Amino acid sequence: MLNSNLHTVISRFLFLVLLFVFCFTFAGRTIAATPYSPERLFRVGLYFQDKTSDNSLFSLVNTSNYGFEIGLYNKDTQSFICQKATGSQNILLSAENGAIHISAFAKDSAGSEMPSDFIYSSSTTFYIRPLGASLITVAGVGYGGMLEYSLTPSGKITLINLITLDEYVKGVLPCEFIPSWDEEALKAGAVVIRTYALASIMGKHAESNFDVCASTHCQVYKGMNNVTDKTNAAVDATAGEIVTYNGKPALTVYHSSSIDATESVSSAWGSSQEQYPYLSSVKTPFIDSKLIPGSIWSKAIRPQDLLTYILTKYPGKLSGDIREITYEKGESGYVNQMTVTDVVGGSVTVKTSGQVRTLLSKFIKSANFDLASTYLYSDTKTEAISSVLTASGQQNADTGEKYTVLSADGKKTVQGIEKVFFVNGKGYGHGIGLSQYGAQQLSLLGYSYDKIIKTYYTGVLIEKFS
């Protein structure tokens, strides 16, 4: 599977390299061959699927004095047309009438309404890359490698960043892990990011012709904007290393934090545990929640708010007020079954912790929670009455009656004012695989990066790939 994907990638980028070589030879210029090894080039979708909000705003800022190379390939005529923007120019792209129009601005007039040096229009895919060791800045984000532009059938610009795998890992690491974290945690991050990227080649975004997107859907990537010497060093120190299981790259999904245990892939997503045995639930006894901001959380959910929210996801499934929520937990402690029932018998049932997260995503940080129906005692604080101590002992306080309580403010009478669902939870994210905050804590406890990785992914190896 991986090999065939790699061959696809190799073929694709060999073609691309040939395109550039031919392109600039044809144009009568001699340029250095691409510095990239074709098998390492990686495709990151930046703007795609008509999500581009304004096609007139692709302003490319030249951060050096070297200029850009711009190559166009017309499939119909099999011809190449190449241009070069000088070091004193920025580029503006816009889409109109089924073509992308490329103009160059004098640098100091970028953003003005007077484009100069109209370069070309293309209705087919073309590529831009900076000359020299500079970046191209798009919407405030500086990208290395090359940028590939094309139009969707509806005329929107699709933008893909082509870079080496480890340049991509360097871009992702400071976005997904905190750059000031311990060296071993960052090295663990570099290895799992690299592995996830390799396992994603022509995966879930294959239809859009790239490997990963730049959001949390895959891995957060903001070009080279956030890289530091420390994060780059973690990538370099682990160069070529990936997580493997049975000799193949593992699907190294990871999450922000889990406190006492991680979640299994079967409980979270209904995936086959046999297919991903390394994504099983793991007890993590060393995690100190006090060191993870917001990792112990609670939330009062008003039934009407919940009803409105559920109806946006399951239209027509509920037609009256919510009467009851029942749920079950898996072995990991994450809620992986839930049924919400209304007063007229309608119901919504979900059967994985991932679906539970989706069902309640506006209200919870993870599916590792307990939920109770209770009363708030104040309409200004989301604090629930759980029980009261009386002369006859502790009593449940899950009704709207009045209670006299002793608090830090002295003796007072409170009354449940509103029945709500109250959630107490821990952790953030789907809970599968490596915990980012957990990696940092284990690192501070003296764990090496490979031991951190093996703590979270059962039975894996760290191996060099070539």
Place of tokens 């946006």: 312
Report the site for Zn ion in 63-102 (rule: CB under 5 A): none
Place of tokens 């506006």: 362
Binders of Zn ion: how many residues, by CB under 5 A? 3
Instruction: Give the x/- contact pattern for Zn ion in 164-203, rule: CB under 5 A.
Output: ----------------------------------------
Q: Greatest CA span in the chain, whole angstroms?
A: 95
**Cross-strand pairs, 296:** 426
Which of 213, 434 has the CB closer to Zn ion? Answer: 213
As a whole number of angstroms, the distance between CA 166 and CA 232 comes to 9
Task: Enter the DSSP assignment of 261.
Answer: B
Q: Cβ(226)–Cβ(176) under 8 Å? A: no
51: contact with Zn ion by CB under 5 A: no
CB of 199 to Zn ion, least distance (A): 13
As a whole number of angstroms, the distance between CA 457 and CA 235 comes to 20
Q: Which of 213, 227, 279, 367 is the binder for Zn ion (CB under 5 A)?
A: 213
What stretch of H or E contains 165?
helix 165-176
326 backbone dihedrals φ, ψ, rounded to 5°: -115, 150
CB of 213 to Zn ion, least distance (A): 3
Q: Cβ(439)–Cβ(188) under 8 Å? A: yes
CB of 46 to Zn ion, least distance (A): 11
Q: Which of 51, 217, 248, 464 is the binder for Zn ion (CB under 5 A)?
A: 217
CB of 18 to Zn ion, least distance (A): 29
Which of 146, 213 has the CB closer to Zn ion? Answer: 213
As a whole number of angstroms, the distance between CA 60 and CA 91 comes to 5
Q: Which stretch binds Zn ion (CB under 5 A): 32-40, 214-222, 381-389, 447-455?
A: 214-222
Number of H helices, E strands in the chain: 9, 28
Q: Which of 218, 325, 439, 452 is the binder for Zn ion (CB under 5 A)?
A: 218
Instruction: Give the x/- contact pattern for Zn ion in 389-428, rule: CB under 5 A.
Output: ----------------------------------------
DSSP letters of 175-202?
A: HHS-TTS-HHHHHHHHHHHHHHHHHTTT
User: Could you list the residues that contact Zn ion (CB under 5 A)?
Assistant: 213, 217-218
